[in-house]
Amino acid sequence: MSVVEFATEKPYQAVIGPGVLDQLGRYLGAATKVGVLHAPPLSGAAQRAADTVRAAGAEPVLIELPEGESAKTPRVLADTWSALAVAGFTRGDLIVGIGGGATTDLAGFIAATWMRGIRWVSAPTTVLAMVDAGIGGKTGADLPEGKNLIGAFWEPSAVLADTGLLGTLPVGELRAGLGEVIKHGFIADGRTLDLIAASPSEALDPTSPLLTELITRSVQVKARVVSADLRESMSVGDDVGREQLNYGHTLGHAIEAGEHFTRRHGECVGLGMIFAAELAHRTIGLAAEHVDRHRRMLELVGLPTSYRGIGWERARALMARDKKTRGSTLRFVGLRAPGDVTMIVDPPEQALLEAWDALTG
């Protein structure tokens, strides 16, 4: 078991390892009711959590959500708020989100908005959620016009990343999760890239110590960044704060929205990283060998490295809605070299088109 500290305004821990969901009772505080939000495939884990809550003297209220990104809609938000009202939840009660990133995003936003904010515990069950959506305090939901357009920064009281639950994941989910792990490697932890390159099959084994190490290293990267800049307020010139965690996300989110959230987030981020690397090569001098390494790393774990889908005009329009955009000015997280992060602001249209052609050609 590993413990990573998040030194934010409201400090919390991420506990990583098999069986850690059973520690939930330690984090109930004075709650008399605990809302356990989960998708249908995780009913067993939700029942485990409910038993733990009961044993600690509180009342569990199980709330089943739609699976995946379909949970993050205004309708599901309203239904969940209503369920809490019917159950009599107060400011002293607690929300637990058990599932992938969509579930933890929604659970955190429910907690942030119920009676202007109650405590919550994130229990991510996918690699992607353990290293990204489930751990940093970003919560939210989607609109037809774009991903995560509504949301709040609301840190959990704890993160319980139970790696014993990863064995149920299809290999596609494991691959997608490693897309975010690779992202952390490029922005802040070259050792992660070396570990994956040395043993990609072990990195994809949900029972392997290597995968647990990779998850822990990614959580450590995110903890360092989030502890310094919870609300993405520090990107000035080369001083890139939390926005660096959005490497690959500008185009990645556009692809997700353009394909109606039918493609896995980690795949889209991988494609977005290749686009960002090609753009950095043309604008801020990222060496061609590092662009090539983006493709090699993604190929090693079975992620796509070229794209055929929405067209450029649609992609550009969707990128213009990205939260990093200021007015009509596109902004991208870019690399001068691995670990050397900066912002690419208002890149030339020709460079954008060439980067797109390199991804789609």
Contact 151, 109 (CB under 8 A): yes
Is 116 in the active site? yes
The mean per-residue pLDDT over the stretch 256-277 comes to 95
Find out whether 10 is annotated in a ligand binding site: no
Find out whether 70 is annotated in a ligand binding site: yes
Q: How confident is the model at residue 235 (pLDDT cuts 50, 70, 90)?
A: low
Please tell me the least confidently modeled range out of 56-65, 237-246, 267-276: 237-246
Is 323 in the active site? no
Walk across the sheet containing 59-64 and list its strands.
2-6, 12-17, 158-162, 119-124, 94-99, 33-38, 59-64
Domain at 171-360: CATH architecture? Up-down Bundle (1.20)
Sign of the dihedral defined by the CA atoms of residues 115, 116, 120, 122, in that order? positive
Rounded Cα–Cα distance for residues 80 and 85 (Å): 9
Residues 159-169 as b/e (b if ≥16 CB within 10 A, e otherwise) read bbbbbbbbeeb
What pLDDT, in 10s, does the model give residues 296-329? Answer: 999 999 999 999 999 999 999 999 987 677 777 8
Query: What is the amino acid identity at position 310?
Result: I
Q: Where do the CATH 1.20.1090.10 domains begin and end in the chain?
A: 171-360
What DSSP letter does each residue of 83-94 carry, written as one string? HHHHHT--TT-E
- The Cα angle at residue 335 between residues 332 and 339, in degrees rounded to 5: 130
Rounded Cα–Cα distance for residues 110 and 115 (Å): 10
What DSSP letter does each residue of 5-49 carry, written as one string? EE-SSS-EEEEEETTGGGGGGGG-TT-SEEEEEE-GGGHHHHHHH
Rounded Cα–Cα distance for residues 183 and 144 (Å): 27
What pLDDT, in 10s, does the model give residues 197-216? Answer: 999 999 999 999 999 999 99
The mean per-residue pLDDT over the stretch 63-71 comes to 93
Alpha helices in the chain (DSSP H): 43-55, 74-87, 101-113, 127-128, 171-188, 190-198, 200-203, 209-228, 249-258, 265-283, 288-300, 312-319, 349-360
Find out whether 71 is annotated in a ligand binding site: yes
Q: Please give the pLDDT value at position 118.
A: 98
Rounded Cα–Cα distance for residues 85 and 79 (Å): 10
Please tell me the least confidently modeled range out of 36-40, 113-117, 129-133, 327-331: 327-331
Contact 329, 348 (CB under 8 A): no
Find out whether 69 is annotated in a ligand binding site: yes
Find out whether 299 is annotated in a ligand binding site: no
Sign of the dihedral defined by the CA atoms of residues 269, 275, 281, 283, in that order? negative
The mean per-residue pLDDT over the stretch 159-172 comes to 95
The mean per-residue pLDDT over the stretch 157-182 comes to 96
Q: Please give the pLDDT value at position 162.
A: 97
Q: How confident is the model at residue 58 (pLDDT cuts 50, 70, 90)?
A: very high
pLDDT at 239 over 90: no
The hierarchical CATH code for the domain 2-165 is 3.40.50.1970
The mean per-residue pLDDT over the stretch 271-296 comes to 99
Contact 174, 206 (CB under 8 A): yes
What pLDDT, in 10s, does the model give residues 172-199? Answer: 999 999 999 999 999 999 999 999 999 9
Question: 292: how many CB neighbours lie within 10 A of its CB?
Answer: 12
Is 138 in the active site? yes
The mean per-residue pLDDT over the stretch 107-120 comes to 98
Contacts of 154 (CB under 8 A, 6+ apart): 108, 109, 111, 112, 117, 120, 137, 139
The mean per-residue pLDDT over the stretch 155-178 comes to 95
| CA nearest neighbour of 93 among 84, 81, 80, 102 | 84
The mean per-residue pLDDT over the stretch 247-256 comes to 96
Q: Please give the pLDDT value at position 238.
A: 65
Q: 38, 183, 249, 282: which one is catalytic?
A: 249
Per-chain mean pLDDT for the chain? 94
Q: Please give the pLDDT value at position 68.
A: 87
Q: 155, 173, 232, 278: which one is catalytic?
A: 232
What pLDDT, in 10s, does the model give residues 37-53? Answer: 999 999 999 999 999 99
Q: Where do the CATH 3.40.50.1970 domains begin and end in the chain?
A: 2-165
Contact 334, 279 (CB under 8 A): yes
pLDDT at 273 over 80: yes
The token pair at 166 is: 């990863």
| Backbone phi, psi, residue 33, to 5° | -130, 140
The pTM score is 0.91
- Which one-letter DSSP state was computed for residue 322? S
Q: Please give the pLDDT value at position 234.
A: 56
According to the per-residue pLDDT averaged within each range, which of 19-23, 136-140, 228-232 is highest? 19-23
Is 295 in the active site? no
Is 180 in the active site? yes
The token pair at 69 is: 């990104």
Q: Please give the pLDDT value at position 237.
A: 59
